[in-house]
Structure 1
Amino acid sequence: MLRDVRRLAARGLLPVVGALMALAACGEPPAPPSTSPPEPTGSSGAGASASAYAPGVVPVVPTTLPTGGVLPPGGVLPTGGVPPPYTPYTPPATTVPTPATTTPRTPGPPPAPKCTAGPSAAQVVAVVKGTPGIPNRELKVIDGPFCSGTWQIATIEIVARHAEQKYEPLFVVTTGAPSALQLIEAGTDVCSQQVQNDAPTGIRVRACGA
């Protein structure tokens, strides 16, 4: 061995041999420690799930749009990426109708008042008794007589007998002094032409309604 070393030294190859002997004595150099995380497994690209990354490493999702905007709540963008302008709600105008004005009704003439100086109920019944169309039955005055000037009007009825139905009232129009009454009309309708033309207004109102 010593002889071989001297031969190599004579040829100028001693430094190379020394280096080779040192490497043989030390063995294979240790590998450098791994400091980077293991590469992710599974599919690559933007569609990789969170399980493809190393434990404890979560990808950061950007909240800023490429145009510089910010994602709205819910992640839904309006058309064009710009929120529409806010338009305040304006309720429709309402028109209150003006109440129609009504013309006050002018009261008509008053009806004839009740008589204060006769005739009596008996005098009215006496003047109508025996008149054609008036039954020969007991009669009685149930309203009136009412007087206006020398005219009178009263309402009479036929007294119903036992189990009879009540009869329809009759009207009697007279004129003249209580002791000398003259019959003008008697019946269910006494608004005759003579009453309309000649009777005072109060009597006409009660006989004809106007």
Structure 2
Amino acid sequence: MRTPAALLAIVGLGCLLAGCRHEEPPAAPTVKPSLLSQQPLVPVLPPTPETTTAPADPLTSPNSSPSPTGFPETQVSYCNGRPSGAQVLAAVRKARPNLPSGGAVKVQTEPVCAGVWQFTILSVTDSEPLRVITKGSPSSLTVVTVGTDPCTVEVRATAPIAFLDAVDCN
């Protein structure tokens, strides 16, 4: 009869000869925050003349500078009314005159900004939500794309990386 120590040695030797090895269990998958999952964003106000001499934002790189709209390209934040959801909806209606009129199209998620780029979600009665990407200043928005998948070649090629991550274009 073999002792438990001898059995353990035999099993260990067999495992060694068979190439067994101890591996850590795989790490749990990480979930990327997304605007579609409604993760909270940090409001960032565009700089005013009084705040232009303030210390740099620690979340942005020292080489980044705010865009002409005042929002850095290195992070995504609420636009805080610059532009408003109503301004984005007006730009979309101008670019897509065939959208249903009246209250059939509403702002579901207020715009978020990165640089001169904005992302807004519109709800449409009896339809899937429209994901809208616009560019420019609040007074002269350009509609880049409207649809259920706004990740066009132009968006992927020219939008800031932080923006692409936030709208799930990566």
> Do the two structures share a fold, i.e. TM-score over 0.5?
yes
Q: Which residue of 1 aligns with 2:76?
A: 112
Percent of residue pairs identical: 30
- TM-score scaled to structure 1, two decimals? 0.47
- TM-score scaled to structure 2, two decimals? 0.56
- The structure whose residues are more often strand, as a share, is 2
Give, in whole Å, the separation in 1 of the partners of 2:112 and 2:119: 5
Equivalences for 1:5-154 in 2 at 5 Å?
A: 88-91=1-4, 92-93=7-8, 94-95=11-12, 98-100=22-24, 112-132=76-96, 135-137=99-101, 138-154=104-120
User: What's the RMSD between the two structures over aligned residues?
Assistant: 3.2
Return 5+ residue gaps in structure 1 as ranges: 1-87, 161-165
Contact 1:113/1:148 (<8 A) preserved: yes
Question: How far is 1:130 from its partner?
Answer: 4.4
Aligned residues, how many? 117
Amino acid in structure 1 at the alignment position of 2:3 = T
Is the deviation greater in 108-117 or in 128-137? 108-117
Return 5+ residue gaps in structure 2 as ranges: 16-20, 35-74
Amino acid in structure 1 at the alignment position of 2:153 = Q
Contact 1:170/1:186 (<8 A) preserved: yes
User: In structure 2, the residue corresponding to 1:129 is in which secondary structure?
Assistant: helix
Change (3 A) 1:189 1:142: same
Give, in whole Å, the separation in 2 of the partners of 1:201 and 1:134: 32
Larger radius of gyration: 1
Question: How far is 1:104 from its partner?
Answer: 9.4
